[in-house]
Amino acid sequence: MASVYIPVQNSEEEVRVALDQLPRDASDILDILKAEQAPLDLWLIIAREYFKQGKIDQFRQILEEGSSPEIDEYYADVRYERIAILNALGAYYSYLGKIETKQREKEEHFILATQYYNKASRIDMHEPSTWVGKGQLLLGKGEIEQAFAAFKIVLDGDRDNVPALLGQACVEFNRGRYSDSLELYKRALIVHPDCPGAVRLGIGLCRYKLGQFEKARQAFLRVLQLDPENVEALVALAIMDMRTNKVGGIRRGVEKMHKAFEIYPYCAMALNYLANHFFFTGQHFLVEQLTETALAVTTHGPTKSHSYYNLARSYHSKGDYEKAGLYYMASVKEINKPHAFIFPYYGLGQVQLKLGDFRSSLSNFEKVLEVYPDNCETLRVLGHIYVQLGQVEKGQEFMRKATKVDPRDAQAFLDLGELLISSDTGAALDAFKTARSLLKKGGQEVPVELLNNIGVIHFERGELELAEQSLKEAVGDGVWRSFIEGKVNVSTADATACTRLYKDMQIFTQLEADNVNLELPWNKVTALFNLARLLEQLHRMEIASILYRLIIYKYPDYIDAYLRLAAISKAQNNIQLSIELVNDALKVNEKCPNALSMLGELELKNDDWVKAKETFRAASEAADGKDSYSTLSLGNWNYFAAMRNEKRAPKLEATHLEKAKELYTKVLVQHNSNLYAANGAGVVLAEKGQFDVSKDIFTQVQEAASGSIFIQLPDVWVNIAHVYFAQGNFALAVKMYQNCLRKFYHNTDSHILLYMARTHYEAEQWQDCKKTLLRAIHLSPANYVLRFDAGVAMQKFSASTLQKQKRTADEVRSAVAELQNAVRVFSQMAAGANLHYHGFDEKKIDTHVGYCKHLLEAAKVHCEVAQREEEQARQRLELARQLALAEEARRKAEEQRKKQLEKRKLEDEQKRVQQQEEHFRRVKEQWKSSMPASKRRERSDADDEEGGHSEKRRRKGGKRRKKERSSKSQYETEEAEAEIDDQEDEDAHLNYGEPADQMHDQDDEAEENAQGVLAAAGLEDSDAEVEAVPPVNASRRRKAWSESDEEEEQRPESSPVRENSAELQESDGEFMADKEKPNRDEAVDDED
Amino acid sequence: MKIAGLKSVENAHDESVWAAAWVPATESRPALLLTGSLDETVKLWRPDELALERTNAGHFLGVVSVAAHPSGVIAASASIDSFVRVFDVDTNATIATLEAPPSEVWQMQFDPKGTTLAVAGGGSASIKLWDTATWELIATLSIPRPEQPKPSEKGNKKFVLSVAWSPDGRRLACGSMDGTISIFDVARAKFLHHLEGHFMPVRSLVFSPVEPRLLFSASDDAHVHMYDSEGKSLVGSMSGHASWVLSVDVSPDGAALATGSSDRTVRLWDLSMRAAVQTMSNHSDQVWGVAFRPMAGAGVRAGGRLASVSDDKSISLYDYS
């Protein structure tokens, strides 16, 4: 073991000090050194030895003692050693300063170091080692240029000064001049081939920076050969290994990192890289520990930035966006230029996006885009953000750019499609299809979401077959396939179960018992739901219901499936089951606005008004008033409440109507394109008589509704027709009703037929009216109102025919026939009335019967008159014809006679003429006898009566007109007029009762009677109308209900759309997640 | 199993055609198609040309149903005015005019032996049975009323629309507005039970000719149900029509079902698959009636005929094979 010999003063002896046996207490040595006045180089050697042994305190003690003023004094002429001691201290403190992380201590160390160097300089200005030390110190302080000057001074003096060369190389490296740096390192190595491995480390780093990876690797390896514990080299090699991105490479890299970490646990870079590695292996705890350590040990900006970034990523992936955001922020703060390290910007952008801070997110992503202008991910994210900010155009622009940048990036097309879905389904479909074919070409599995979206768009566009294909592809194989293909027999139920079919889960337990795999992966649920929805559209309810039930069986919280089943059973009028299903849905989420709204509709169907209103309220509250459907339902509720005519309360009606309007308007404010709200507003306006405005609204709604298969808005057609009707445009009204009936109801809605009949009635097209009513009866046999109305129509037809000035006997006969029919209809109803089939007043029907019978009586007379007239006409005709015939015959006879005269057969001919004439007479008599004997007196009576009729009639007619008006207005129900109408209605009743009595009393007085009856007839007519009105009104109310029905129907139908949008959101989420992933991949590339 | 269009007659009636039935062949003539229409006439057509054999007047208000006696000699037609006219097919001589006020008349069917005519009695919630020899009303089969009818409920939910005899003549089924189907024991004139599952009007019913317990029902809920009429169970439910199913008939071999619907189509269903195998869209309006021609010789499917009638005033004839 090496020893030093301290010469004993004034003797030849020396004290041997074994360097490996230095005393623990440096004072012992110091005493000897001082006592023996040992040369200063010995001091330095011993101090260094202490340093090497890690006994820093002793090292410092000796050096500090060695640089004390007394020593200076004593060894004043020993300059070099004194400088060396000072430099050693300076170097020591610069080192301390370099590794110190706390700013204040760091500065203190540097100040001390500076003091020592300055002291050394004072001893000798030109000592190169001092300059080298100063250079290192300046480097450590980050004052690159001054360090450069310091090293230059040394190198100018001695261009082969190795420490200066190394220092200068370091300076050049930091300046980014890697090739210059490399040259300097090389020179140092040439000058001093045995220099420590660290020099080669510099070479390696330069090579690395210059992109000469192989040579860099060699250099690092060489370093490790020389110094197997060189952390930097290990880390560098590890990084290079990791960057190969191959499994083996990464593993080797991680091993090296581990080694480096074991050697020196405070190397920030190693820590960062290890953290990075553990991030990908998902060991977030380690990531945090490592990066926190790294942060504690480094002040180096980029390294810190990297550490913060690692931490941020860790939190980001754990979903702690707040923290992640903070750390990203910290990371970004450490970066001077985004170009140096862009990833934290990306991460920050993502987190801000997630937290909804679109503006900040936008600016961060834009920074990323500046660095990587063609980065697809960034383009897509930007597109997404712009859409979120409402700048859809710009968003699409970015997405399009992304697809252009990489036309084979399926994800970009996917995103573009999702973007376009709300604005341009066609383009969206194209984008999706491109994405699908790209994925298929690439041999990748096409995601379920994509296929689902394609399917749904086809569905929306009404391309049901394509939709089915795509959705089937999306759901793939599973038990549902055997359901769809009908391979599993599913329908067996006994009588008790068949009303509850849609709640039956037995088949699934049965199937499971049979070991059929019922597995339904969560990501296929949506697609399966949509498929079921599609099958519903294709009227394959059985399968659809099974699929819904399967969804519920596997995912009992899937509310939409319950609602669809409820909608199906509602469509089949199974209200009880429907309510149960909705309640099941409410068990899952008692505040689900959709379920509540549906429940409200069902309660309305059950005539549970108060309950329904409460339910709608609850629905509206559950959605914070934002759910337009429940608001609309409330609006409708109010409207219906206003239209109820059982309880007439004008004030209440007005408030209800006002409230309805308010609610519709509220919805319109929220969604200015809500067709139903617009329709509702139109209805309210129409109720107030503003037909032109309402017609405009209806027409616009109708146009808007003609686009999608999910929007079925027959009400607006009906409403337009109502407006036409109210404006007296009967032909157009009928056309509109017909179109609506055909387009939306498969001609099965008897209410609309009733509206049509009413229009025909107003237009006095009795036969059309009757035919229409008969059709309605055929469709809806149990609706006796229709029968009554048909009776009225026939009565009306007959009455008007009989009152015509000119009519043929045929007309009269048909009028009579119709009257008989009317009598039959009315009397049948009268007979049935006591069975309580319908809500008709027996008396009223009796009166109708009576009136019709009376009319029949009268008609007999009419009939006779008509027949007589006809007969007379015919007789006249006949006479003329006879005359003509006789003439002709005579002429012929004449001719013949002439001929006969010539042939002398005149006698025979004359006989024949006589015979002919006789024949004619016989025919004439036959005709005469075939006609009933006519009495002139009766006829004149009839005429008189008729005169009275027509006069009276005209007057009555005027009044009638007015009544019609009022009844019409009642139809449109302006409450005030309705009130009047009400009174009139009652008046009519009163009046009507009287003359009816008169009819019996004054039977003898023919003329008076006729007038009395006529008055009765007039009133009867109007009464009949009034009678006809309430049913219409009632049915209108019903209709209004059906309006809501319809909407209700629309609702579930729109549910897939919602579902859809939910789905879109979902996939949005995935889309986000996806985006994060590639980003993470890129993050591997980072390097500070 | 398929149907192929043979012949269609446009404007066969002046108005919507609402009813169709086949009059079985007699020794002197082949089977004839009987149709009834809103135009108040009943017409007889001779297949396969669908040549108009005769037009019968005598009804007021639309003709809603027609039925033929199994002998092929007499037939009945009924209209909204609730009259049933029984007439001689070949001479059009009126044999009887039936009415049972206040009961209306909807679907009618002769029993398989031809001794009784069953008439769906609408709002009377009953089936009226008429003796075909005396034309006397022999029985009224009433649907029991629910124990506690709600006073609020207007109208009669048990309004009877449709009626069907079991092939052995022992059972009668009737369908009502509320969707329930009621089964009666004819011999004892006794109500047996309800078949549930529909909640909308059942406008047409038919028993399978080969499985006497099997009953098919067509309802406004767009479904066709298959019931075991004795076991009270729903055997199957078939959907596919987009709107009301107005009419249903079973093929004579019992293998196929034909339905007519408001969705303007005629569908052919394979009963073994319980699925629609064919959809005919030749009508342009609701198809109110479908009827298979009864088989002359049993067991042979060839030469089967199916007729359909529609609101579009036309009638169509198809070959069923």
At A855-866, the pLDDT tens digits run 878 777 777 777
Cross-chain Cβ contact A782/B156 below 8 Å: yes
Within 10 angstroms of residue A930's Cβ, the number of other Cβ atoms is 8
What are the residues whose beta carbons fall under 8 Å from the beta carbon of A943, sequence distance 6 or more? A865
Largest Cα–Cα distance of chain B, in whole Å? 57
Distances from the Cα of A777 to the Cα of A176, A771, B185, angstroms: 95, 10, 30
Q: Which of A53-62, A460-469, A487-496, B79-88 has the highest mean pLDDT?
A: B79-88
- Whether B259 and B216 have beta carbons less than 8 Å apart is answered as no
Q: Which of A188-202, A580-594, A804-818, B249-263 has the highest mean pLDDT?
A: B249-263
CB-based contact (8 Å) between A408 and chain B? no
CB-based contact (8 Å) between A835 and chain B? yes
List chain A residues with CB under 8 Å of B64. Answer: 778
Cross-chain Cβ contact A782/B177 below 8 Å: yes
- Whether A236 and A267 have beta carbons less than 8 Å apart is answered as no
Cross-chain Cβ contact B104/A781 below 8 Å: yes
- The tally of CA atoms less than 13 A away on the side-chain side of residue A303 is 19
Residues A845 and A961 in one domain: no
- The tally of CA atoms less than 13 A away on the side-chain side of residue A754 is 25
Residue A259 counted as domain residue: no
In chain A, the number of structural domains is 4
List chain A residues with CB under 8 Å of B238. Answer: 542
Chain centroid to CA A216: 55
The alpha-carbon radius of gyration of chain B (Å, integer) is 18
A1071-1079 contacts, C-beta under 8 A, 24 or more apart: A1071/A384, A1071/A411, A1071/A414, A1071/A415, A1071/A418, A1072/A350, A1072/A353, A1072/A354, A1074/A411, A1075/A350, A1075/A377, A1075/A380, A1075/A381, A1076/A316, A1076/A317, A1076/A350, A1078/A377, A1079/A343, A1079/A346, A1079/A347, A1079/A350, A1079/A377
Phi, psi torsion values for A349, nearest 5 degrees: -55, -45
CB-based contact (8 Å) between A924 and chain B? no
Average pLDDT over residues A659-666: 84
3-state secondary structure (DSSP) of residue A357: coil
**Residue A11 or A440, more confident:** A440
Q: pLDDT at position B44, please?
A: 94
* Run means of pLDDT, 10 residues per run, chain B, 321 residues: 91 94 90 93 91 90 93 92 92 91 88 93 89 93 71 61 93 92 92 90 93 93 91 87 94 92 94 90 94 70 83 93 85
Residue A100 counted as domain residue: yes
- Whether B176 and B202 have beta carbons less than 8 Å apart is answered as yes
Q: Which DSSP state fits B133?
A: T
CA–CA separation, A1084 and B83 (whole Å): 91
| Count of helix runs (H) and strand runs (E) in chain A | 49, 2
Strands B233-239 and B245-250: unpaired
Residues A849 and A967 in one domain: no
Q: Is the pLDDT of residue A463 over 90?
A: no
Where residue A52 falls among pLDDT bands split at 50, 70, 90? Answer: confident
Where residue A1043 falls among pLDDT bands split at 50, 70, 90? Answer: very low
- Whether A278 and A313 have beta carbons less than 8 Å apart is answered as no
Q: pLDDT at position A798, please?
A: 85
Q: Which of A72-76, A294-298, A859-863, B222-226 has the highest mean pLDDT?
A: B222-226
Where residue A989 falls among pLDDT bands split at 50, 70, 90? Answer: very low
Cross-chain Cβ contact B223/A572 below 8 Å: yes
Indicate the residue of B179, B197, B239 with minimum beta-carbon distance to A541.
B239
Distance from CA of B20 to the nearest CA of A (A): 15
Residue B150 counted as domain residue: no
Distances from the Cα of A853 to the Cα of A3, A380, A816, angstroms: 149, 83, 10
Where residue A840 falls among pLDDT bands split at 50, 70, 90? Answer: low
Q: What angle, rounded to 10 degrees, do the helices at A178-191 and A162-175 form?
A: 170
The token pair at B41 is: 């006439």
Q: Is the pLDDT of residue A401 over 70?
A: yes
Residue B151 counted as domain residue: no
List chain A residues with CB under 8 Å of B179. Answer: 573
Q: Is the pLDDT of residue A721 over 60?
A: yes
Per the structure, the complete domain to which residue A1032 belongs is given by: 957-1055
The token pair at A293 is: 């350590």
Vertex A34 angle, CA A30 and A36, to 5°: 115
Q: Which DSSP state fits B91?
A: T
**Residue B133 or A77, more confident:** B133
3-state secondary structure (DSSP) of residue A749: coil
Q: Is the pLDDT of residue A946 over 50?
A: no
What CATH number is associated with residue A499?
A: 1.25.40.10
**Residue B24 or A433, more confident:** B24
The alpha-carbon radius of gyration of chain A (Å, integer) is 53
- Tell me which of A589, A617, A650 is where a domain ends: A589
CB-based contact (8 Å) between A824 and chain B? yes
CA–CA separation, A1082 and A381 (whole Å): 15
CB-based contact (8 Å) between B154 and chain A? yes
Largest Cα–Cα distance of chain A, in whole Å? 209
At A146-159, the pLDDT tens digits run 888 878 777 777 77
Q: pLDDT at position A839, please?
A: 61
Phi, psi torsion values for A342, nearest 5 degrees: -90, -20
List chain B residues with CB under 8 Å of A775. Answer: 16, 38, 62
CA–CA separation, A860 and A895 (whole Å): 50
B residues 64-103 lying closer than 8 A (beta carbon) to A: 64, 80-82, 101-102
Whether residue B81 is preceded by a cis peptide bond, meaning omega within 30 degrees of 0, is: no
- Whether A701 and A675 have beta carbons less than 8 Å apart is answered as yes
Residue A222 counted as domain residue: yes
Residue A674 counted as domain residue: no
CB-based contact (8 Å) between A792 and chain B? no
The token pair at A654 is: 């007005």
CA–CA separation, A654 and A643 (whole Å): 10
Instruction: Give the neighbor-by-neighbor strand order of the sheet with B3-9.
Output: B3-9, B315-320, B304-310, B287-292
CA–CA separation, B256 and B279 (whole Å): 13
3-state secondary structure (DSSP) of residue B138: strand
CA–CA separation, B84 and B75 (whole Å): 10
Residue A719 counted as domain residue: no
3-state secondary structure (DSSP) of residue A581: helix
Distances from the Cα of B20 to the Cα of A715, B67, B201, B222, angstroms: 34, 8, 20, 21
Average pLDDT, chain A: 73
- Whether A622 and A596 have beta carbons less than 8 Å apart is answered as yes
Q: pLDDT at position A646, please?
A: 57
CA–CA separation, A1031 and A758 (whole Å): 10
Indicate the residue of B81, B177, B233 with minimum beta-carbon distance to A493.
B233
What are the residues whose beta carbons fall under 8 Å from the beta carbon of B145, sequence distance 6 or more? B125, B158
Q: What angle, rounded to 10 degrees, do the helices at A559-571 and A1006-1083 form?
A: 160
CB-based contact (8 Å) between A483 and chain B? no
In chain B, the number of structural domains is 1
Q: What percentage of chain A carries pLDDT values higher than 70? A: 79
- Tell me which of A869, A904, A923 is where a domain ends: A869
Closest chain A residue by Cα to residue B239:
A540
- Whose structure tokens read 């059982």? A646
To which H or E segment does residue A461 belong?
none
At A517-538, the pLDDT tens digits run 777 888 888 888 998 898 888 8
The token pair at B164 is: 């069907």
- Whether B257 and B274 have beta carbons less than 8 Å apart is answered as no
- Whether A40 and A78 have beta carbons less than 8 Å apart is answered as yes
- Tell me which of A869, A885, A911 is where a domain ends: A869
Distance from CA of A641 to the nearest CA of B (A): 18
Within 10 angstroms of residue B302's Cβ, the number of other Cβ atoms is 8
At A996-1039, the pLDDT tens digits run 333 333 333 333 333 333 333 333 333 333 333 333 333 343 33
Q: What percentage of chain A carries pLDDT values higher than 90? A: 1
List chain A residues with CB under 8 Å of B18. Answer: 778
Closest chain A residue by Cα to residue B106:
A781
3-state secondary structure (DSSP) of residue A561: helix
CB-based contact (8 Å) between B228 and chain A? no
- Whether A273 and A239 have beta carbons less than 8 Å apart is answered as yes
Q: pLDDT at position B207, please?
A: 95
The token pair at B17 is: 């055609």
DSSP A703-744: HHHTS-TT---HHHHHHHHHHHHHTT-HHHHHHHHHHHHHHH
Residue B83 counted as domain residue: yes
What CATH number is associated with residue B126?
A: 2.130.10.10
List chain B residues with CB under 8 Å of A784. Answer: 123, 155
List chain B residues with CB under 8 Å of A825. Answer: 81
Three-state SS letters, B253-274: CCCEEEEEECCCCEEEEECCCC
The token pair at A811 is: 């007309």
Cross-chain Cβ contact A832/B123 below 8 Å: yes
Per the structure, the complete domain to which residue B264 belongs is given by: 3-145+156-320
Q: pLDDT at position B225, please?
A: 92
**Residue A828 or B182, more confident:** B182
Strands B116-120 and B126-131: antiparallel
Residues A149 and A28 in one domain: yes
Closest residue by Cα to residue A713 from A681, A745, A666: A745
Within 10 angstroms of residue A444's Cβ, the number of other Cβ atoms is 10
CA–CA separation, A913 and A910 (whole Å): 5
Distances from the Cα of B54 to the Cα of A186, A424, A716, B19, B194, angstroms: 120, 60, 45, 16, 41
3-state secondary structure (DSSP) of residue A608: coil
- Return the minimum-mean-pLDDT range out of A68-72, A366-370, A962-966: A962-966
- Return the minimum-mean-pLDDT range out of A390-394, A656-660, A738-742, B83-87: A390-394
List chain B residues with CB under 8 Å of A497. Answer: 234
Q: pLDDT at position A490, please?
A: 55
